[in-house]
Structure 1
Amino acid sequence: MNKNLLMLDLSDNLLTHIKKDTFIGVRTGVLDISNNKIVEIDNGAFKDMNLNHLFYYNNNDGVFVNSRYWYIDDSQIEVNCATQKTYRICIKGETLSSVDIPNKYSFSKSSLTSFVGWLITSDTLEIFDEKISAMGKYSEFLIHPESFEGLLNLENLILDVGPISLKENLFDPLISLNYLKIEIKYNPQSPSKYINNVLKTVPSIRVLEILNSDSINIYTFYGMQTKALDISYNKIIEIDNGAFKDIHLDHLYYHKNVGVFDNTRFWYIDDSQIEDNCLPSNKLEFTGDKISSINEYAFKGSNIQVFLKTLIIRKTIKSEFIIHPKSFDGLTKLENLELNVGLIQLKENLFDRLTSLNYLRIEIKYNPQSPSKYINNVLKTVPSIRVLEILNSDSLPSNKLEFIGDKISSINEYAFKGSNIQVFLKTLIIHKTIKSEFIIHPKSFDGLTKLENLELDVGPIQLKENLFDRLTSLNYLRIEIKYNPQSLSKYINNVLKTVPSIRVLEILNDVSINICNNPISNENSLPITGLYYTGGSIITLPTNALICLWNLEKLSISKTQLTTIEAGVFDSMTVLKYIYLAFNKLTHISTGIFNSLNNLITLELNHNKIIEIDDKSLIKSGNNNLQLLNLSYNEIPIIKKDTFESFKCSQLDLSHNKISHIEDNAFKDTDIHDIFLLNNAISDIKIKAWKIPLFTFVHVMKPSYFISFCSGKRTRVCDHSGSCEFKCIDYNSNPPGLG
């Protein structure tokens, strides 16, 4: 016998006495001696066995007062265990102490003799009811309408017992039944051969799973209505045309069957709703209020380690919940952990064992004295973590869903239809590192009526009319567009005009600016207040490019090949306040481009190739609210006398250019609080010759501020003494005074 074992299973035998030398020389992580007739266990019986778990529940009324002499810790002895689905769950007090899948398991005996505790495993039939004298494998299993009397709250019923003969009103007492798994004994003479005749009186049914069927005809589900139908893992070789007509299915599961079906288009169900590539369950869920902690090594040595990817523990009565760094020992495959249980005290290395953890949902007990009060100190050793959802006593489920990875290349139609995330999901982010064409359909977002923010950082997407119509609350969209000059949807306003809630649009890596088609009308206008172009090969900002954006307040075009701004492009932009055209290829500022922008607050043209500014091209008529004109990091060689004459703004940044000469009277009649000239080729500062007013500060000695994209624009402003501070022009509020 191998004396170094992972598990030694001696359950369901006739053991009465465990002697001191019974297991001498044997080493195993798990010893199962449950369901025997043990009345005596010698002192030292488990010495040197290196046990993690000893299962000895359901024995012969033995009361053991000498367990402290067995050479095993009390925390490792499991005496209170029950089976839930395929899992054996052991609880010690209020603490979850062990979870595994035993080699054999049964339902407990019941006075309802029609519910025999039994299970078919391979070719074995185990019976735990002395009233049954014989039963062959897949023998018929009998139930009656009265069998379920009183189970008013039952939602899920799994009858993995063999073929069952259908009878009218069989499930009528189950008024809350949502999910049914069953194998049907077909009787062509019975009125109940059609399952719709049996289930038509169960209006709550939503999911039906049928086992070991070999054919589906047009009458099998006639008259039924259900959202999901599971006929997977059967022996189906034939499905008739029209088999699923008028059922109104969202999902049909039929993987792992025998037949190869070439008539799916005649089934009356869309191909996108047919699921034929599914894996066995890798999810374990606890629901209830008996557990208040997870013991150390609760999962160690368990055979669920190899496949468990999702663990959910949910309590209705929230209280402090205790876990330890070793509570999850062995769960190296776990990707999703939801602890909806109450407050949890953070500890260093708490989740270190979960080397594959991607998603964590938790409510944190705050301790201001603990080094672990900052969650990054706890999760910094979990490099796989991507999504973190933090709850508190008053919180709702997370309203953000994020996918990161390169496995997704499209979103199916009805992917979210019927999902319970519809009621709260407000932000959906899909991010791919390897960009390629990504396919979505108008029905891809069906049901997401609460979604406000959609980020598709995935690669180019082909625009289609009505593509986002289902998103009736959409406020922010980030997208890369696949340009098709022949398509009517090449103009974005044709796609988004039916989304009245849209306010902010961010476009990635585009080749041209195609927002508005011409002529413009009220019907084609967009309510967008913020437009951001980032990256791509845009060369020109055409005259009519923005003509349908009457409410635009913020415009950003950066990191493109932009060289030309056509005259008149801003003429209709009466409410435009912020323009950011940095990091492009502009070389020339023409007269009249910005003259009509009377509400402009910031104009940022830094990090371009500007060499020439036409005379008086920056002088504006009407009210002047300009706070910042940023021309830094360009190639301006000279400031002419008419370039800024009578110009008014709070800050003018000309730093990091090639200015070697400023003509006399260049700043005559200007109203500028700060002028920045550092890092230019000027050798002599001529305040009087340039006609710089006495109230204007000229900064030439050191860097005075740095422009970056904050929520609006961040500026480091310096005073006369050289003291500097950061200020930010916030796009979401009235900008603070600068200078």
Structure 2
Amino acid sequence: MWWTVAFLSLSVWLLSGMTVGNADNPHGCQVWSPTEVKCAHTDLNEVPLDLPATILRLDLQDSRLKELRRHSFDALKRLQYLDLSWTRFEYVENGTFDSLTNLRTLNLSRNGLGDAQWFNITSSLPSLQTLVLSDNRLQQLNRWTFGDLHNLTFLDTSSNAIIVGECAFCGQQRLQRLDMTDNEISTLPSRLFHPQSELVLLDLSNNRLRDDVLAKEELWSGLARLRTLDVSLNYFSIPKFAQSFKNLTSLNTIYMSSNEIQQFLFQNIVPLLNAPIHDFILRYNPISIFEEGILLQLRHLRTLDLGKTTIPSSQLQKILPELQNTKIQKLRFETGPGNFAIDNTTFGRLPGLQKLRVHSSDVRVLKANLLIHSKNLTELVLGSNNISTIDEYAFAGLESLDILYLRSNNIQTLPDNVFNPLQALTYLDLSSNNLNTISPRLFKGLLHLHRLSLSSNGIVQIDKATFVGLNSLIRLDLSFNLFTTARNVVAPSVKSIDLSRNALTVLQRNDFQGLTNLVSLSVVGNSMKTIEPRTFQALGKLEELDLSLNGIATVTSRMFEGLENVTNLDLSLNDVTEIEPYGFYGLRRLRELVIRSTLRTIQSVQATLRICGRQPPLLLAVCVPQRMFSLSAAGFRSSGTSKDGSSGDGGREPTNGNNKGSGGGDKNGGDKKGQLCCPKCGDPCTHVETFVSSTRFVKCEKCHHFFVVLSEMDSKKSLKEQTAERQGKTKKPPPAPKKVWPWS
């Protein structure tokens, strides 16, 4: 294997409070009290017989119960809540739950229950209000399935494969919420609910229902209290609502997204006009005809979602002004073929509009006073259009706008004052346009701006004054542009900046002088080969630095000086072949260092791991060829010069080969033969043998410095390899890996 990932953790983790199963919590249970027992995720193969008779809640989910017997719950007459989900029991004895006369909530989801087992469960649960049967193997629902459960208010039968029979819920007059999603139901009987049903929410999504279901008069006649109807993910094409929908005077939310609706005709919608419809969700439908007059009659409408539909632009131009007669607050739409022009007459007067999304449409121009009458608008999304021109007064009157999203358009220039009216704006996205230059006055009025994205624009340079005065700006995205230097980016308040995928080849001192409050910096993928010493000296608050996917070959001495608060440093996917002494000098709080490269030579490993005299807990992730380090023996002199001529304790000259891992020196400079010494302070490490059998880390008792001690064998190998390198001899590369045939 070419690459080995080694995680060297020098931290101590204290784990406490993880006791499992004791005198207070028998059977490995998490909770065992007079009123509640929780034995979830255990290996229990039967219901404990010593359960307190006073408990109100019992949780046995994800246990290994194979069967439920009559005596399992005999003593639990006060029990109100029982969770048996994920238990996968195979047998339920008839009358098992007879004693649970006070049970209100029962969860039997994900058990593989079939119809035969179910009839052994519901024989006597008179107080049951909530029943969850999702993800089982139920196939038939008829008048006897829930016949004795007259107090049910919530029923979940989702993710089964049921066929709904006549009058399946006729006995559940108090049922308020019914979930039958994901059952492959193709039709519903005309008589299904109690004539005076109290049903409030009906979820029939992700089935195979067709237009005939909505047209059944008797089916809907008794649902006078229904508020939410979800028939998304079915097969409706030209929906026609039965006349009995006129009785649904409480219906306020209809979900019909992801169907096959092609035509929305006025005459088919008339029965809905008596209902106070607030939310109408029609996204992801291939609508080709949306007749005029429908929106005009939905006077209570607050949310209309026509996203991902194909309504022709010409039709939208006619129906959108009808929204003036509604109480619309949230509007989303996408147009079909044809240019869609937006001006101050497109929507009319919509004073209550708060969120507007026009996505993936052929909008090309934003004219003046576009939404002058929508002063309460807080979110405007105009992404993935063809906008190329924006009038200077396009956003006039939008003093409350908080989010403006102009991503993925064709904007090349912007008027200097175009954003001046947006006094409350906190998020501005101009990414994926063609803004080659940015006017230094463009953002001057955005005093509350928190996030700004200018990525993927081809910007070459930026004026120093561009972000000056934006004292609330925290996150700045300049990725995927053509910046060759970061020196002109002056944004004192910014805490996170992304300069990934630009044209930075060199980082120099003072490049980041204008980013003094920076906490996170990403310079990924810039083909950067050189970073001058002390480049990051101004970034004293920086905590995360990502330099991955560049061309850095050498971690030079004092490259990271000044980064005292950095905890995460990523140098992966570079061409690092050498780390000079004091390469990581100054990184006092480093916790994670990631290097993935063809690293072969490190001048001295203690210089690699030295963090300016103080070694914190450090996680070093190095992905390199099989032998991680090629270096000299573990003993080093306490003074002298390094091989490259530099002085200091990092990269000290190794002792001669005769010492074989011993070395160091006393305080007077004399050698103590046969004695291993700390390469930092020179103190003898008396607790370590001179000759070690395996390479390992050693901690100095005096200064608490960590360094590596090589075994005699590794020392010989290391010296031999370095000698071969000096003489120009190199190892032959290993052979190419053979093809491994797939398992057949």
Whether these two folds match at TM > 0.5 is: no
TM-score of the two chains, using structure 1 as the length reference? 0.41
Q: Which has the higher contact order (CA 8 A, sep 6+)?
A: 2
Structure with higher strand content: 1
TM-score of the two chains, using structure 2 as the length reference? 0.41
